Amino acid sequence: MTETPFETPLRAPRVWAEFDNPDDDTERFRVDLTWLTSNWTCIFGQGCQGIYADRPDDGCCTLGAHFSDKDDLKNIKQVAKTLGPDEWQYYDEGHSKKGWTEKEDGATKTRVVDGACIFLNRPGFPAGAGCALHQHAMAEGIEPHTIKPDVCWQLPIRRDFRTVTMNDESSFTEVTITEYDRRGWGPGGHDLDWYCSGNPEAHVGKDPVYVSNAGELKHLMGEAGYAELVLRCEAHLAAVEAAQRPGRRKMLPLLVHPATLAAQQQNRRRI
């Protein structure tokens, strides 16, 4: 594993909350409050080192994006048709016979061209470096998560489903909302040269994740589910504030994400 010395250990303790999905009585949310109240933010172009040391300008776009299902692919097909050569560096390549998708182990994904995703505009491109889909969304006033592959906009939030069977043989679907850490990438995630979600360098956001990524969370949980999440995140932050008051006992490490805590301590030292 190539985690940096300052990266949060994968098995660091966390605070979890559970509540029923207001929109579906067969589901129960299990949410990672330690992560969702952290100050993580995407720092692409602002200190992001990329997942591979020899591709520092790619962020996490080096490998291309696998599509979650047919609807995910259909959505990006529609968006790709609207991109012009002035906003998509690989416009010509994307419209060539090879197209902008490819197969990997039988699954469809965005094609890798010149070492990274075909939708990634490289440094020096007039429209700026970064995802052409994301930049198009920002230019059109559209929420980026609505026109990007699922795996791209969900990162670094991970949603997992698990069937839980109780002793009385009743069951429900447990929907976990947590951090998309290295393990989310599969076995290869441990070999990434740098990764943001557990790194203090990326825990410099003005707002906690449940606020800054509200659009994504509403998409994953529904409006009613998100409203329930907000109540619990606010209560958690209130508990953290109380625990940090002078004279209190040492705060348990699970209350604040270790990377957020490290970033806050580094900032205090600079001041």
Across the 271 residues of the chain, what is the mean pLDDT of every consecutive 10-residue run? 69 96 98 98 96 97 96 98 98 98 96 98 97 97 97 96 97 98 95 96 97 97 98 96 75 80 81 63
The reported pLDDT for the residue numbered 265 is 82
The reported pLDDT for the residue numbered 4 is 47
**Token pair for 218:** 């509403």
Give which of 92, 194, 90 is closest to 133, Cα–Cα: 90
Give which of 149, 267, 112, 106 is closest to 201, Cα–Cα: 267
| Contact of 15 with 236, CB cutoff 8 Å | yes
C-alpha dihedral sign at 197, 203, 204, 208: positive
The reported pLDDT for the residue numbered 268 is 74
The CA distance from 60 to 227, in Å, is 30
| Contact of 216 with 157, CB cutoff 8 Å | yes
The reported pLDDT for the residue numbered 244 is 80
The CA distance from 161 to 172, in Å, is 10
Q: Residue 227 gets which letter from DSSP?
A: H
The CA distance from 85 to 96, in Å, is 13
Q: Residue 183 gets which letter from DSSP?
A: G
Peptide bond into 156 cis (omega under 30): yes
| Other C-beta atoms lying within 10 Å of the C-beta of residue 212 | 16
Task: Note the helical H segments in 164-213.
Answer: 209-212
The reported pLDDT for the residue numbered 41 is 97
The CA distance from 167 to 208, in Å, is 37
End-to-end CA, the chain = 34
The reported pLDDT for the residue numbered 254 is 75
The CA distance from 100 to 212, in Å, is 30
The reported pLDDT for the residue numbered 252 is 62
Class of residue 247 by CB neighbours under 10 A (exposed 0-12, middle 13-18, buried 19+): exposed
